[in-house]
Amino acid sequence: MPSEHAGISGEGRMTGVTVQELLSGAGQRLAAAGIETPALDARILLAEVLSVEPGRLVSCGREMAPHDAVEMFEALVGRRLAGEPVHRILGRREFYGRTFLLTPECLIPRPETELLVDRVLQDFGEGLPARFVDVGCGSGVICVSLLAENPALSAVATDLAGGALEATGVNAQRHGVADRLEMVRTSFLSDIEGPFAFIVSNPPYIATGEMAGLSREVREHDPDLALDGGPDGLEAYRAILSQAHGRLRPAGRLYLETGHGQHDAIMQLAKELRWGIVSSHLDLSGRERMVVLEKR
Ligand code: GLN
């Protein structure tokens, strides 16, 4: 843990460069490269190599930086300049108040997905026992958060990517929920037997033809498997909506994150496949982001 006093001056050789100079130099280079939040990114990366909280950097701004820290910082800034997202560089991301390890096979969890967790907890919070599936668990943010928030829940997490399941396993251990989580490497709900009280998923939902138009950060550093939803972006929803029926209890619920502009098509699909519609929800920027369905 970072010490109480800003003391970044370690044992190693010092440079003649101050923390503040390093920060502003990197911030300028990141800004010139068109990075969206240059100052913030520089701060997070420098805090990482100096092992201090990002919020403490300013208070040690006049201190000289150790030689190895400068070298490490240069390497991280180089990766950021090449388009790698900050959380990919750190290999971890905060989600619903906890820190999650990421492997290259995990999608970087998005803050919008916290709404999905929140919505499930409205129905299954506070000690209510239930067994559920997290389909396409990635780093495990959804299932691990739910299990940690409600100790009476147990779950199965599925993913096609072995590296994603590895991350989910580590994250489940870290947050003390591994004894209530089973992990299965499979496609959506194949090989999974119910009955479950609910199924939750933030599936890949980008149409294949739109993949090339994603930002470089996403396109080059989030795994295709976690993004690509087939020709119309709805392939995962088709699979989950048809497989989920047989795995849910009567009146069992399905909580799905949805992509921009997909809401109506997913509702149509849900009706065709005879799901009851419970609710749809917007995210904080006012976009349709989530649907809740019920087995009829
Ligand atoms: N469930 C994980 C998340 O929400 C992974 C989602 C995905 O890979 N599409 O971050």
pLDDT in tens, 199-257: 999 999 999 999 999 998 999 999 999 999 999 999 999 999 999 999 999 999 999 99
Rounded to two decimals, the pTM is 0.92
Q: Is 199 domain-assigned?
A: yes
Q: How far is the CA of 58 from the centre of ligand 1 (A)?
A: 35
Give the pLDDT of residue 10. Answer: 57
Tell me the pLDDT band of 4, cut-offs 50, 70 and 90.
Answer: very low
Q: Is 121 domain-assigned?
A: yes
Q: For the chain, give the DSSP string.
A: ---SS-----SS-EEEEEHHHHHHHHHHHHHHTT-SSHHHHHHHHHHHHHTS-GGGTGGGTTSEEEHHHHHHHHHHHHHHHTT--HHHHHTEEEETTEEEE--TTSPPPPTTHHHHHHHHHHHH-TT--EEEEEES-TTSHHHHHHHHH-TTEEEEEEES-HHHHHHHHHHHHHTT-GGGEEEEESSTTTT----EEEEEE----B-GGGGGGS-HHHHHHS-HHHHB--TTS-HHHHHHHHHHGGGEEEEEEEEEE--TT-HHHHHHHHHHTTEEEEEEEE-TTS-EEEEEEEE-
Is the pLDDT at 83 greater than 90? The verdict is yes
Give the pLDDT of residue 202. Answer: 97
Q: Is 87 domain-assigned?
A: no
Give the pLDDT of residue 1. Answer: 40
Whole-number percent of the chain with pLDDT over 70:
96
177 in ligand 1 pocket by Cβ < 6 Å? Answer: no
Mutate which of 107, 221, 240 for ligand 1 pocket (most atoms within 8 A of beta carbon): 107
256 in ligand 1 pocket by Cβ < 6 Å? Answer: no
226 in ligand 1 pocket by Cβ < 6 Å? Answer: yes
Work out the average pLDDT over 182-201.
Answer: 97
Q: Is 9 domain-assigned?
A: no
| Domain housing 273 | 92-295
> How many domains does one find in the chain?
2
